[in-house]
Amino acid sequence: MRNKKWVTALVYVILICVSFVMVYPFLWMLSASFKTNADIIQNPLNLLPQKWTLDGYRAIKTMSGYSIWHYLKNSIIISAGTTALVVVSTAMGGYALYRKRDLPLFGILEKSFMISMMYPAVLLLIPLYVIVIGSKFLYGTGNYLGIILASSTGAWGAALPFFLFKQFFASVPYSLVEASTIDGATERQIFFWVMCPVMKPVILTATLISFLTSWGLWIPVLMLSKDMSTYTLASMLVNINSELGVDLSQTAALSTVVTLPVVLIFLLTQRKVMDGIAAGSVKG
């Protein structure tokens, strides 16, 4: 009995230490965002500011001539657009592959998706850049479409949701579809009236996961933007750190602003997100 108490204590101690390491950067970031630059450099160990200041937040109010709301708006547009496209394409595509995998072209489509997942994503942007800048429709000041389309592929945001749906359909009895065809339902009716209600929870999970992962994307944004009119919060964070003489309290403040929405959404929906990611992965 005494032995068991010791084991429990040990497990707790290890997990508390590990958890501390996991959240430490976020605590450090939050405290640094209220510190002065001198305080951050001199006392990096202190998790409480010597003197509280909002200098960092003042420094992110306007960046490179645009207000913070501009970058926030871009983050929302690009992650919402990517999420919508990812969820619609993987849900409907996944269903079509489940319904009748042996139709002409279907196999090639699925393989193309898998191949684009394995190509180094950063370098896939070189040909994508060539495709995107060649098109008025996809590229230009304030044009988000190229970024959203590139971010919605297997190389970036679509991989996890695709496997999530694949895994989900593997558990749906095919007799559900067969019964509906016998009743004379058309393919559209089967999808919208029979499958969609069953898919509701998994659609929700895919939406959450997709939003959380596309919120932090910065490589496609930096590479496929014509100018800063389409920069997001995350890409701006990379941008202010590529310059010489980094303003640490500004960086910490912007990091906090980037992190806060995803942490809030995650804490509110953690069960769905973690179970969903696990389910989507185990099949993949």
> Counting beta carbons within 10 angstroms of the beta carbon of residue 55, is it exposed (0 to 12), middle (13 to 18) or buried (19 or more)?
middle
Write down the least CB distance from residue 49 to another protein, Å.
Answer: 15
Q: Nearest distance from residue 25's CB to another protein, in Å?
A: 4
58, 67, 181, 189, 226 from 62: Cα distances, Å? 8, 4, 58, 50, 20
- CB of residue 137 to another protein, shortest distance in Å: 12
Angle at which helices 196-215 and 159-170 cross, to 10°: 160
* Positive/negative CA dihedral, 128, 133, 134, 140: positive
User: From the CB of 80, what's the least distance to another protein, in Å?
Assistant: 16
Here the contacts of 13-21 (C-beta below 8 Å, separation 24 or greater) are: none
Q: Is 11 or 179 the residue whose CB approaches another protein more closely?
A: 11
Closer by beta carbon to another protein, 123 or else 176: 123
Closest approach, Cβ 155 to another protein, in A, equals 7
Residue closer to another protein by CB (options 109, 176) is 109
Closest to another protein by CB, 66 vs 266, is 266
Judged by beta carbon, residue 119 or residue 193, the one nearer another protein is: 119
Residue 284 C-beta: closest distance to another protein, Å? 7
Min. distance of Cβ 87 from another protein in angstroms? 10
Tokens representing 151 are 């971010």
d(C-alpha 244, C-alpha 102), whole Å = 56
The whole-angstrom separation of Cα 121 and Cα 116 is 8
Nearer to another protein, 155 or 203 (CB): 155
Residue number with CB closer to another protein (40 or 203): 40
Question: 118: which DSSP letter?
Answer: H
Query: Who's near 170: CB < 8 A, 6+ residues apart?
Result: 283
- What element of type H or E holds 23? helix 2-32
Instruction: Tell me if 32 sits within 8 A of 252, measured CB to CB.
Output: yes
